[in-house]
């Protein structure tokens, strides 16, 4: 069974025959059969060579790199094996057509908002009155005439959403507003770390389909990022990342000792990252009986299914309907 592996130590990644090896600074060696690796997440300072990269590419293994502070740095993506010129042309055409692009962008924001409200409703301390500011903004999603207007509405919704975290979290985890670069408190550190994992997970799933990760609709395509990953991740961040954060804190699995402050940045320390990653693996591996497929589907595979639905939409097979969790 394929799974993700995480490297925290400094050392060297190498290939020997058909096996992946990691050798740490103490010359301790760990081997992994390549058939078991889905993605590699590298948090330590590592050396590698082109022989290894060629080997990983042959086996469609993606490598995601994080810097010393735990911030996402970039990814090594293997050569695309599911190329489709027709899909790429249609995907691009939907970006170039204002109405088609706006329709998809609205779908991402409406699904994200649905999951924000769903998450909040899971806590009895969140009253109907507390949700009213978000509910009143929902019609503006569908009334937006431009991407910038839509993004403005999304920003206001998310601001109200974050303002309600204080009713869910214990008092020692104060959270006043979202701060990304750098995170100024523990909740911002958790959100940033979790969102990076969501982004890289979405990116890995996109690479298993015919979609091009640089052609996006809500976020502006950029030469420096895989912006379609940001689009699709919007749907899953409140559903997976935020619920995981609430669970870890309220069950006291993560507490203040799992953070450190460096130059006014609040970050998860290594122990905190390990705990979060273990919980992340368990979360995206959880399964739900799919109403249409009539079989159990993991949270990770729901991301893949979202990619497939987007492909069907751009090639004209089936109108895109974003995931709205029913369970």
Q: What is the CATH number of the domain that holds 255?
A: 1.20.120.920
Q: 186 versus 79: which is more confidently predicted? A: 186
Last residue within a domain, chosen from 57, 76, 95: 76
Residue ranges of the annotated binding site for Mn(2+) are 154, 219, 234
Q: Same domain for 187 and 276?
A: yes
Which residues neighbour 229 within 8 Å (Cβ) at sequence distance 6 or greater? Answer: 199, 200, 202, 203, 206, 213
Q: Is 321 among the domain residues? A: no
Q: Residues 40, 17: contact at Cβ < 8 Å? A: no
pLDDT reading at 131 higher than 90: yes
Inside any domain, residue 140: yes
Q: Is the pLDDT of residue 271 over 90?
A: yes
Query: DSSP letter string over 205-251?
Result: HHTTSS--TT--SSSPPBTTB-HHHHHHHHHHIIIIIIHHHHHHHHT
- 160 and 60 share one domain: no
pLDDT > 80? residue 91:
yes
- The two three-digit tokens of residue 230, written as one number: 């940001």
pTM for the structure as a whole: 0.92
The C-alpha atoms of residue 132 and residue 190 are separated, in whole angstroms, by: 26
Structure tokens at 28: 């301790």
> Are residue 70 and residue 96 in the same domain, yes or no?
no
25 & 103 share domain: no
Examine the domain organization and report whether 55 and 125 are in the same domain: no
Q: Is residue 327 part of a domain?
A: no
Looking at residue 185, what DSSP letter applies?
A: S
Predicted confidence at residue 164, as pLDDT, reads 96
Instruction: Tell whether the model's pLDDT for residue 142 goes beyond 90.
Output: yes
Cβ neighbors of 233 (< 8 A, separation 6 or more) are 195, 198, 199, 202
Verify that 26 and 153 share a domain, yes or no.
Answer: no
217-235 pLDDT, tens per residue? 999 987 668 999 999 999 9
Residue 135 has phi, psi (to 5 degrees) of: -60, -35
What is the pLDDT at residue 200? 96
Query: Residue 81: pLDDT above 90?
Result: no
Q: Which of 31-40, 219-228, 297-306 is predicted with the least confidence, judged by mean pLDDT?
A: 219-228
The verdict on residue 222 lying in a domain is yes
Same domain, 11 and 115: no
Taking the C-alpha atoms of residue 6 and residue 280, their distance in angstroms, rounded to an integer, is 12
- State the average pLDDT over residues 293-308: 97
322 in any annotated domain:
no
Annotate 126-178 with DSSP letters as a single string. S-HHHHHHHHHHHHHHHH--SHHHHHHHHHHHHHHHHHTGGGTS-TTS---S-
Pairing assessment for the beta strands 37-42 and 3-7 based on DSSP bridges: parallel
Which one is predicted more confidently, 182 or 196? 196
Non-local (6+) Cβ contacts of 219 within 8 A are: 227, 230, 231
Phi, psi of 266 (to 5 degrees): -100, 125
pLDDT of 43-54, one tens digit each? 999 999 999 999
Contacts for 179-182: CB closer than 8 Å, 24+ residues apart: 182/69, 182/263, 182/264, 182/265, 182/266
Contact (CB, 8 A) for 311 and 87: yes
* φ, ψ of residue 57 in degrees (nearest 5): -65, -40
User: Does residue 182 have a cis peptide bond before it, meaning omega lies within 30 degrees of 0?
Assistant: yes
**C-alpha 254: how far from its chain's center?**
20
49, 101: one domain? no
State which residues form the domain around 305: 85-314
Q: 46, 76, 106: which is the final residue of a domain?
A: 76
Q: Assess whether 224 and 90 both reside in one domain.
A: yes
Q: How far apart are the first and last CA of the chain?
A: 26
CB atoms within 10 A of CB 121: 11
Q: Tell me if 299 is assigned to some domain.
A: yes
Task: Answer yes or no: is 301 within a domain.
Answer: yes
Q: Which residue positions form the known binding site?
A: 154, 219, 234
Please give the mean pLDDT across all residues of the chain.
94
**β-bridge partners, 30:** 22
Q: How far, in Å, CA of 127 to CA of 49, rounded?
A: 55
**For range 106-121, the mean pLDDT:** 98
Predicted confidence at residue 287, as pLDDT, reads 97
Same domain, 267 and 307: yes
Burial (CB count within 10 angstroms: exposed 0-12, middle 13-18, buried 19+), residue 61: buried
Model confidence at 192: pLDDT above 80: yes
The CATH number of the domain holding residue 70 is 3.100.10.20
Q: Are residues 89 and 70 in the same domain?
A: no
Angle, alpha carbons 215-303-324 (nearest 5°):
105
């Amino acid at each position: 069974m394929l799974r993700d592996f995480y490297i925290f130590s400094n050392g060297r990644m190498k290939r020997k025959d058909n096996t992946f090896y990691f050798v740490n600074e103490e010359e301790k060696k760990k081997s992994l059969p390549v058939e078991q690796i889905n993605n590699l997440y590298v948090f330590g300072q590592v050396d590698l060579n082109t022989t290894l990269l060629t080997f990983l590419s042959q086996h469609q293994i993606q490598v995601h790199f994080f810097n010393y502070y735990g911030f996402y740095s970039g990814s090594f993506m293997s050569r695309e094996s599911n190329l489709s010129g027709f899909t790429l042309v249609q995907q691009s055409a939907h970006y170039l057509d204002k109405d088609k692009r706006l329709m998809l962008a609205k779908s991402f924001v409406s699904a994200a908002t649905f999951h924000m409200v769903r998450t909040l409703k899971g806590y009895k301390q969140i009253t109907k009155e507390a949700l009213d500011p978000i509910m009143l903004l929902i019609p503006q999603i569908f009334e937006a005439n431009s991407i910038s207007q839509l993004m403005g509405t999304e920003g206001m919704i998310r601001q109200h959403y974050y303002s309600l975290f204080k009713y869910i979290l214990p008092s020692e985890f104060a959270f006043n507003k979202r701060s990304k670069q750098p995170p100024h408190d523990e909740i911002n550190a958790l959100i940033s770390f979790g969102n990076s994992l969501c982004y890289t997970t979405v990116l890995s799933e996109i690479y298993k389909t015919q979609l091009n990760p640089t052609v996006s609709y809500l976020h502006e395509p950029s030469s420096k990022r895989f912006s379609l990953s940001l689009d699709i991740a919007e749907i899953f961040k409140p559903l997976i990342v935020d619920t995981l954060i609430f669970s870890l804190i309220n069950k006291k699995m993560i507490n203040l000792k799992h953070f450190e402050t460096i130059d006014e940045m609040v970050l998860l320390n290594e122990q905190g990252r390990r705990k979060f990653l273990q919980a992340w693996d368990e979360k995206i591996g959880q399964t739900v009986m799919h109403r249409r497929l009539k079989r159990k589907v993991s949270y990770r595979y729901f991301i893949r299914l979202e990619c497939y639905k987007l492909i069907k939409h751009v090639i004209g097979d089936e109108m895109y309907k974003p995931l709205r969790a029913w369970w």
